[in-house]
Structure 1
């Protein structure tokens, strides 16, 4: 029994972390499907859902209005979801510049987004978080692939702002998402990326489906493109910058929320897991959004399975795993005390992600849904030049 557990667990870990990225890179190299881009300017509505974003929303709106896009083709709408701070007052100050405010009672992000989407007839919807700042030219880069009729949606490139002196160390997460960006580039080369990230993405209006409660809205909305058998591609020049979380606790809570809602979203979109209808994308979706988020289970299987083996080599491997997890725990403890974790940053991030994954799995199994969101990032500052920042796509 221990042998079966060990072999199955090792196979799951190796596929998810090693073989799947390699297969994706290989497909991106040999099955290239170029995307036709052009200097197109479809009518665009930038949709922003906001809950108590007084500190960020003014900078965000100024940033969007500064984009090089024809004014007559650009609409900006902010759906204020029961804000109790000064968010709505800030948005109203931008109304002379063409920004629209939808003031709504607290109902959750899904309801806010649906109301905003229903309020416009623009050809292309651009969705972006209230604290994501667009690099110059990001909007044009985002819509350029819509010159290709096969493209139904475009994912932007989310990056972290350089850390300030008060920001938590996030080396582990930066490294993790830089690797993930490479996956996104390969996926876009041969077909579709798995999904977009909420910092910046665009979708043809006629492909949008109403967002349901309890799912990550960026996953739900962007995968509607693939469900319609259109391409969801990556635009690396469409850059959106975000600050890191204000603390490890805030980042942990954010990951629990994203993974809980993400697993529910995959369940509701489970038809996309059918390889006979969606080809390799089905494998891609399972590997990227299910196996990776459930990785805590095979990791536990590897630990238990190797510990049950009497051979010295497996016992040494068990000790190595325990040492790695202890290093991650120590890194988190150092960061909790405001100290830098240095070389322990990556194992600390790895441990935090998998603890969050375990919590998310429990939430899903126990039927707990997360339908409301709170801001978890530091206040926004001006983005660096396009050459700055470190990649972090989702």
Structure 2
């Protein structure tokens, strides 16, 4: 769906008056869908992950096994009796399987690999068995449970996630039973009265710790089924040994313990294929437990609400497995692509730096560019910043004219500039019409063929304009991106944005320059050839990211767009979370609008189609799509920290942080920045990155729900100055000299 176009800034005053007159309570109780949908989405993903973790015994699982205890409280008839214990209706008795009857039992399944092989073998030899399933496995593989029932086998419960019941309260035991019955009902539409405790063996092994839970389970209507012949197949002793241990002596009946899950059961399947025909030849019958005992079937149908509850449970478990599986696969793909992107950034940005820093490097045949240029400064209520901005331009070492286009300011911005009475500076006033209209007005009044554009809160160094226009020595160049720097980087939020600008923006721009698909000329510092602007129709107000929009339009028109690293501009980054949110929300939404507007570039051919083939997919993937999955990284991180494996999770996070730190350090070296600001990188990854996730997610939701986003004016303090314009006072001399040293070429 295409993002809806923005509401023009010309409607700002009307919008404020409408909001002022709206009832306060109406605004307070409003719950926009662009907030509701992201919260619901993240909640749903978290719930799916928790459900999957629960079903896979990654959370709330109890792996304790109680050591053997005394058995003086266990009735003698139980310890010396048969493997089937009946404590229903307050009674205590035990049963044994008649002679020449064998009840094969398989624990811990169903398993997607080995249970089908076991079932195939049983079917081939016309034998029945009892499968003691766990709720976790039955929830994941309901089709195998249905097959068991369909082929005439019996089902018993083996708890939900295989805990030692001697550690459980009565409520905990009830939970294990009810959860497993719900999974069985959802999978096969039945419930069962057979139960086998985990970690159980023969009747004579019952002790004082396990006997109370067996009695309690019996009081809930279950027959407890132990065994009197253990194949010990879980030890993988070999096929012959499994058969020997599973074979009863002297034609006696027995309940044989085997496993169809919990590891490699190849020996079990091979042993079963020999065991069944050999004992059938000796007159043994392989029957279900109730068949062997001559008792009513252990299965009863489930109907009504209980049936639908079980089906809903199985559906949710299946959905959680599939969704989390897709998300994990998506994260793996995105993670690989991100690492590839980091590699490209390091290689190509280094190549860009080496190319433009060669002693004999020339931008084009017409170098150096010395012709005068026009600098456009669109300004809306920039009273706190505009004087420093204009004075930094007047100090330029390149011939310029400065046009300040006052876009209906109400704080006296135009008057401040006029009162300065600086040479080469003109003021153009217009009614509030938005930044694109102000820039187009400036282009129409410009006297020169090269147009530099900047923001009203930005200051240039004396060499910025000269460095910015040198690439126009190549007649194929239609626009140049400068190096936007954060001027107020000594505060925490500013420091985080400083890292983002140096690493995320300028490394990207070096890479995009080499690839020939620069996506954005920053509004703070960019230059354009007038003829290029005229050919694409000037600045457009179709999107909230007019700088990205015009850059993409120039690419599609066949112009080269390059990056000038030494054209530094110092801008005032937002200093509060609210201001940062407003700025990035507009950027994200505007970028999405620009991508949608220029989507047909993907189909274009020829030199102008390079951006569509490389740049547009690249920007769409890494600036819009991939960040949507990024919050999942943090969800999985929190999951791993809480539920394990904690050490591996921490190691993985530190590994990702190390990769980012290497890229950031390299970017800082290329940009000659002080490394001390990287000390806040871990905090940036924990806090700042999450804010950017939510911003992008909300932008998506705004677009998908057809919401409108208006331009929002950020509050400025006017505290930013270009290093070259700082008075050389004693307290600042060291900092100034450091800045000069940092600007020297590296290598």
State TM-score, norm by structure 1: 0.81
1:209-255 superposed Cα distances (whole Å, 9 cap, x missing partner): 33222331221223333122221111111100123312122112110
SS in 2 for 1:55: coil
Query: Hey, what's the Cα distance between the residues in 1 that align with 2:646 and 2:330?
Result: 15
1:51 maps to 380
Does residue 370 (structure 1) correspond to residue 700 (structure 2)? The answer is no
1:210 maps to 538
Q: Which moved more, 1:48-57 or 1:111-120?
A: 111-120
Distance change in 2, residues 1:272/1:380 (3 Å): farther
Query: Hey, what's the Cα distance between the residues in 2 that align with 1:121 and 1:77?
Result: 10
Distance change in 2, residues 1:242/1:75 (3 Å): same
Of residues 352, 361, 364 in structure 1, which corresponds to 2:691? 352
1:117 maps to 443
Deviation for aligned residue 1:42: 3.1
SS in 2 for 1:195: coil
Distance change in 2, residues 1:23/1:275 (3 Å): farther
SS in 2 for 1:102: strand
Q: Compare CA radii of gyration and give the structure with the larger one.
A: 2
- Determine if contact 2:496/2:681 at 8 Å carries over to the other structure: no
1:238 maps to 567
- Determine if contact 1:77/1:116 at 8 Å carries over to the other structure: yes
- Determine if contact 2:478/2:560 at 8 Å carries over to the other structure: yes
SS in 1 for 2:485: strand
SS in 2 for 1:357: helix
Does residue 126 (structure 1) correspond to residue 452 (structure 2)? The answer is yes
Does residue 249 (structure 1) correspond to residue 573 (structure 2)? The answer is no
Query: Hey, what's the Cα distance between the residues in 2 that align with 1:382 and 1:129?
Result: 14
2:495 maps to 171
Q: Which moved more, 1:28-37 or 1:3-12?
A: 28-37
Does residue 64 (structure 1) correspond to residue 393 (structure 2)? The answer is yes
Does residue 36 (structure 1) correspond to residue 353 (structure 2)? The answer is no
- Determine if contact 2:345/2:507 at 8 Å carries over to the other structure: no
1:265 maps to 594
Q: Following superposition of structure 1 onto structure 2, how do residues 101-112 of structure 1 map, counting pairs within 5 Å?
A: 101-112=427-438
Distance change in 2, residues 1:179/1:282 (3 Å): farther
Of residues 522, 541, 544 in structure 2, which corresponds to 1:197? 522
SS in 2 for 1:67: coil
Query: Hey, what's the Cα distance between the residues in 1 that align with 2:617 and 2:716?
Result: 28
Does residue 5 (structure 1) correspond to residue 321 (structure 2)? The answer is no
1:93-126 superposed Cα distances (whole Å, 9 cap, x missing partner): 2455222222111222122222222222521110
- Determine if contact 2:406/2:427 at 8 Å carries over to the other structure: yes
- Determine if contact 1:45/1:76 at 8 Å carries over to the other structure: yes
Query: Hey, what's the Cα distance between the residues in 2 that align with 1:46 and 1:343?
Result: 39
1:341-380 superposed Cα distances (whole Å, 9 cap, x missing partner): 7842332111111111111112222233434330344323
Does residue 97 (structure 1) correspond to residue 423 (structure 2)? The answer is yes
SS in 2 for 1:211: coil
2:213 maps to none
Does residue 283 (structure 1) correspond to residue 283 (structure 2)? The answer is no
Of residues 81, 86, 89 in structure 1, which corresponds to 2:407? 81
State TM-score, norm by structure 2: 0.45
Q: How many residues align?
A: 366
1:336 maps to none
- Determine if contact 1:128/1:200 at 8 Å carries over to the other structure: yes
Query: Hey, what's the Cα distance between the residues in 1 that align with 2:646 and 2:612?
Result: 36
Deviation for aligned residue 1:152: 1.3
Of residues 9, 16, 19 in structure 1, which corresponds to 2:340? 19
Distance change in 2, residues 1:153/1:280 (3 Å): closer
SS in 1 for 2:567: strand
Query: Hey, what's the Cα distance between the residues in 1 that align with 2:604 and 2:622?
Result: 16
Query: Hey, what's the Cα distance between the residues in 2 that align with 1:368 and 1:231?
Result: 34
Ranges in structure 2 where 5+ consecutive residues have no aligned partner: 1-321, 657-678, 725-735
SS in 1 for 2:385: helix
- Determine if contact 1:6/1:305 at 8 Å carries over to the other structure: no
Query: Hey, what's the Cα distance between the residues in 2 that align with 1:342 and 1:24?
Result: 18
SS in 1 for 2:342: helix
Distance change in 2, residues 1:384/1:289 (3 Å): farther
Of residues 530, 553, 558 in structure 2, which corresponds to 1:224? 553
SS in 1 for 2:723: coil
Q: Which moved more, 1:366-375 or 1:29-38?
A: 29-38
Query: Hey, what's the Cα distance between the residues in 1 that align with 2:691 and 2:613?
Result: 28
SS in 1 for 2:721: coil
Query: Hey, what's the Cα distance between the residues in 1 that align with 2:622 and 2:646?
Result: 24
1:335 maps to none
Deviation for aligned residue 1:169: 3.6
Query: Hey, what's the Cα distance between the residues in 2 that align with 1:190 and 1:346?
Result: 28
